[in-house]
Amino acid sequence: MDDQEALQQTLNRARRALQILENQKAGYGIRVPVDLQIELEEKQKEVTSLEARLSQLQKKRPESVPDNLADYNHQSSTHQPPESQEKEVFISYTWRDNHSEPFVQQLEKAFQAKGITIIRDKNVVGYKQRFQKFMQRLSRGKCVIVVISDQYLKSENCMYELVEIAKKGNLYHRIFPIVLADAQIYQPIARIKYIEYWEKQIQDLNNAMKTVNAANLQGFREEIDLYTEIRNMFANLIKLLKDMNTLTQDIHIQSNFEALLKAIEETLDE
């Protein structure tokens, strides 16, 4: 068996595995587990890489590349987001405690010293502007620093941002988490407390809605749906976070955020 035949067999196996993952994803509807989404994205990259290698062996260009590549690149460039959008670095954190904000301010200064502007709600959401619009913009960001604290995990706005980032795909590569000391994500019993918290939010609001007439309750049903989505995705989101070496708050501060800066600069340059 020559190299081309061996590579073709490897590609066929990868395609079959990808098809299985895509079928599994379809079965979940809109609530795809984070680990499945990550596995699917990695398998897609593997298939693309194998296809390119096989095309090179066959001494022909990949089918996805048009013959008029120069013209295609020129035309496509007009549809690319502006450079400023490509270089955006967002941060998701809570206002609800007294230690996340000072930490974020230190982080912001370190990035400014390197010529990188951190985009956060306090700086860009002006009077009467809508937070929802900003949170959607953040969720599409190429680089999102996520400062995880106990209150972050209990904040509907923060968890909405994290859920939306996950739903946009490529979660592992787009988030740069920092887990603060009070975020209890490493012990299973402590993690269960957060799930209990969100289940209680669902139950309390549901019970409260039953005490009034069901007419004209716009927004309340959406709140329950959000709480439910957070509760349903919580375990998979935290499973990913606790498996990542996010370094401690002290390490980041003592190193002037060196590792974080390097990781983000590399991603921005991709």
pLDDT tens for 208-227 read: 999 999 888 888 989 999 99
Q: How far apart are CA 35 and CA 164, in angstroms?
A: 15
Which structural domain range is residue 64 located in? 3-77
Residues 70 and 161 in one domain: no
Indicate whether 105 belongs to any domain: yes
CATH number of the domain that residue 140 is part of: 3.40.50.10140
pTM: 0.70
- Give the end of a domain, one of 55, 77, 99: 77
User: Which residues, 6+ apart, have CB-to-CB distance to 246 below 8 Å?
Assistant: 148, 177, 178, 179
Indicate whether 202 belongs to any domain: no
Indicate whether 129 belongs to any domain: yes
What integer is the mean pLDDT of 149-154?
97
Predicted confidence (pLDDT) per residue in 211-269, tens digit: 999 888 888 989 999 999 999 999 999 999 999 999 999 999 999 999 999 999 999 98
Q: How far apart are CA 25 and CA 39, in angstroms?
A: 11
Residues 56 and 168 in one domain: no
Domain count, the chain: 2
Indicate whether 193 belongs to any domain: no
Backbone torsions φ then ψ of 36, nearest 5 degrees: -70, -40
Residues 91 and 62 in one domain: no
- Give the end of a domain, one of 52, 77, 102: 77
What's the chain's Rg over C-alpha atoms? 22
Predicted confidence (pLDDT) per residue in 66-103, tens digit: 344 334 334 433 433 334 345 789 999 999 899 999 99
The CA-to-CA distance between both ends of the chain, in Å, stands at 36
Indicate whether 199 belongs to any domain: no
**For residue 173, with 0-12 CB atoms within 10 Å meaning exposed, 13-18 middle and 19 or more buried, which class applies?**
middle
Q: How far apart are CA 183 and CA 191, in angstroms?
A: 9
Return the SS3 of 93. Answer: coil
Question: In the structure encoding, which two tokens stand for residue 53, read together?
Answer: 């290698």
Residues 263 and 178 in one domain: yes
Q: How far apart are CA 210 and CA 206, in angstroms?
A: 7
